[in-house]
């Protein structure tokens, strides 16, 4: 299949829609999508790149869980919530820029992401999350945080 292009006009991607799709290497989600359901792309083991639309407000739990080759994804301004285990086991994910609009990140959102560095503005919820090492099951992000625009 290669890159999955969700049709413009789609507003919601249902739970487990593409879960286990081993032939999906990329996904483009249009601006019309406001929410991606539970486990929608879970265990797409060959998924490498995702482009998320500007209207997305929530990433539900396990949305990209088990996508071990995922190395590139944008988090759009306007997203407010990253669910439990949303990126669990995304071992190829190295950097993730999280905008100030995100005000909720579940404690285990990035479980088993040993190489991830969160990039966020100082004082933002994401920066606080990344600097707090007491989340159960979450990789210790201390020392793996950068202010947006700085390295």
Instruction: State the DSSP string of 21-52.
Output: -TTEEEEE--TT--EE-TTTTTT-TT--EEE-
pLDDT at position 136 is 34
CB atoms within 10 A of CB 93: 22
CA 18, chain centre distance (Å): 16
pLDDT in tens for each of the 151 residues of the chain?
A: 799 999 999 999 999 999 999 999 999 999 999 999 999 999 999 999 999 999 999 999 999 999 999 999 999 999 999 999 999 999 999 999 999 999 999 989 999 998 888 888 888 898 888 876 444 334 445 445 555 554 4
pLDDT at position 114 is 86
Q: Which residue has the tokens 């919530």?
A: 81
- Any domain includes 151: no
- Any domain includes 148: no
pLDDT at position 90 is 96
- Any domain includes 87: yes
pLDDT at position 142 is 47
Q: Could you give phi then psi for residue 130, rounded to 5 degrees?
A: -65, -30
- Any domain includes 149: no
Pairing between strand 24-28 and 49-51?
parallel
pLDDT at position 147 is 56
Q: What is the CATH number for 37?
A: 3.80.10.10
- pTM for the full model? 0.87
Domain span at residue 33 reads 1-142
End-to-end CA distance of the chain: 36
């Amino acid at each position: 299949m290669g890159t999955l292009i969700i049709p413009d006009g789609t507003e919601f991607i249902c739970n487990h829609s593409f879960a286990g799709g081993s032939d999906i290497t990329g996904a483009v989600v249009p601006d019309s999508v406001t929410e991606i359901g539970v486990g929608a792309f879970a265990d797409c083991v060959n998924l490498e790149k995702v482009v998320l639309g500007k209207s997305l407000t929530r990433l539900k739990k396990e949305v990209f869980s088990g996508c071990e080759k995922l190395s590139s994804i944008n988090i759009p301004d306007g997203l407010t919530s990253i669910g439990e285990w949303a990126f669990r086991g995304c071992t190829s994910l190295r950097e993730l820029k999280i905008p100030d609009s995100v005000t909720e990140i579940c404690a285990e959102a990035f479980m088993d992401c040993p190489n991830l560095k969160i990039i966020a503005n100082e004082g933002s919820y994401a920066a606080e999350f990344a600097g707090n090492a007491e989340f159960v099951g979450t990789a210790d992000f201390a020392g793996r945080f950068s202010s947006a625009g700085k390295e």
